[in-house]
């Protein structure tokens, strides 16, 4: 059999298996860390320093736009700005993604997820 | 090997095909929820596509681009014949199958590049982490394009499956089996 084909197959197989394995195990590790995650600590210290508004305040604001259940919250940086990303399921079953400036609380963007 | 069978798909073509099926499926299913798994599955897809492109130059006869890239007019006439159920049989990829491979490779490359760019801008992670803090417009564009090309890929997969089924019926051969054992009847 062609040695080139064997080498290429070997790379493809070990590479795919290795990457998928790494993806599975890393994802697990992250989920274990989550409850006391590094991110939450960062959010807390930024809030205490007054760099960003508390998440609770943003959530209240978000609920005024769309009453419903909050699915996910995330703090991100974008162009050196802090942004809260809120995902929310409203009462008619639509999922909304909203972005708030974390410093001023201003609503930057909202869109319906499809 | 049975007497009237010929080797068509070399070991890499087959390994590549099924490793890509697995990686793309994992990437598709983990897309919304498991970011790390999604990224690694995406790397696997990208790596496989690059290997396949190299193999398209140095690989065995029916694995080469020169063997399965036909002029658009030939692809059209082959598709016309197929719809009339009188397409001729090709031992390697037929013109429509060859065009599908090109479309899929390009679509997967676009999906991988936009995904890696989005990951870099959004999470400062992955090979393009230096894009972190890039403009929001750029990030949104990458996200849109990533989703569009991933959806397009799913559509191509469905058309590919329909094509495989149709050709298998028209020529009374099991093309799925051939992609496992590499052999077709002569």
User: pLDDT (tens digit, 9 = 90+) per residue, B109-156?
Assistant: 999 999 999 988 887 788 888 888 778 788 889 999 999 999 999 999
- Residues of chain A above pLDDT 90, percent: 31
**C-alpha dihedral (B53, B58, B59, B65), degrees to nearest 10:** 50
Please determine, for residue A40, whether its predicted confidence score (pLDDT) is greater than 80. no
Contacts of residue B78, Cβ cutoff 8 Å, sequence gap at least 6: B70, B87, B94, B95, B96
What is the structure's pLDDT at B96? Answer: 96
Please determine, for residue B42, whether its predicted confidence score (pLDDT) is greater than 80. yes
Q: Name every chain B residue with its beta carbon within 8 A of the beta carbon of A1.
A: 11
Average pLDDT on B30-53 reads: 93
Please determine, for residue B4, whether its predicted confidence score (pLDDT) is greater than 50. yes
Residue of B nearest to A16 (CA): B44
- Structure tokens belonging to residue B80: 């016309």
Rg (CA), chain A: 21
The CATH code that applies to domain B5-185 is: 1.20.950.20
Spatial distance between the Cα atoms of A19 and B140, rounded to a whole number of angstroms: 27
Contacts of residue B157, Cβ cutoff 8 Å, sequence gap at least 6: B24
- Structure tokens belonging to residue B7: 């080797």
Q: Name every chain A residue with its beta carbon within 8 A of the beta carbon of B39.
A: 23
Of A81 and B163, more confident: B163
> What is the three-class DSSP state of B27?
helix
Domain boundaries, chain A: 3-34, 52-112
Average pLDDT on A71-96 reads: 85
Spatial distance between the Cα atoms of A101 and B47, rounded to a whole number of angstroms: 38
What is the band of B1 on the pLDDT scale with cuts at 50, 70, 90?
A: low
What is the structure's pLDDT at A35? Answer: 39
**pLDDT tens figures, A19-30:** 999 998 886 544
Residue B50, φ and ψ in degrees, nearest 5: -65, -40
The CATH code that applies to domain A52-112 is: 3.10.450.40
Contact assignment for A4 to B34 by CB distance below 8 Å: no
Please determine, for residue B172, whether its predicted confidence score (pLDDT) is greater than 50. yes
ipTM score of the complex?
0.88
Residue of B nearest to A19 (CA): B40
């Amino acid at each position: 059999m062609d040695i080139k084909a064997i080498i290429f197959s070997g790379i493809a197989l070990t590479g795919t298996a290795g990457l998928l394995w790494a993806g599975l195990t890393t994802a697990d590790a992250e989920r274990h860390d989550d409850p006391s995650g590094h991110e939450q600590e960062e959010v807390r210290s930024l809030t205490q320093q007054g760099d960003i508004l508390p998440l609770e305040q943003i959530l209240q604001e978000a609920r005024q736009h769309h009453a419903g259940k909050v699915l996910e919250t995330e703090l991100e940086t974008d162009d050196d700005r802090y942004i809260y990303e809120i995902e929310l399921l409203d009462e008619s079953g639509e999922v909304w993604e909203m972005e708030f400036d974390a410093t001023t609380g201003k609503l930057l963007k909202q869109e319906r997820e499809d | 090997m049975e007497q009237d069978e010929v080797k068509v798909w070399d070991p890499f073509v087959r390994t590549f095909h099924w490793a890509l099926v697995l990686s793309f499926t994992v990437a598709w299913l983990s897309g919304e929820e498991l970011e790390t798994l999604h990224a690694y599955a995406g790397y696997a897809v990208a790596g496989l596509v690059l290997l396949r492109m190299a193999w398209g130059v140095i690989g065995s006869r029916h694995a080469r681009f020169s063997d399965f890239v036909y002029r658009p007019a030939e692809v059209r006439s082959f598709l016309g014949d197929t719809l009339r159920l009188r397409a001729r049989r090709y031992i390697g990829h037929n013109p429509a199958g060859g065009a599908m491979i090109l479309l899929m490779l390009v679509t997967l490359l676009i999906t991988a590049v936009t995904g890696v760019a989005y990951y870099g801008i959004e999470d400062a992670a992955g090979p393009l982490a230096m894009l972190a803090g890039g403009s929001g417009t750029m990030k949104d564009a990458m996200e849109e394009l990533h989703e569009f090309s991933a959806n397009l890929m799913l559509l191509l997969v469905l058309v590919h499956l329909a094509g495989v089924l149709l050709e298998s019926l028209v020529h009374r051969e099991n093309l799925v089996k051939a992609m496992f054992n590499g052999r077709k009847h002569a």
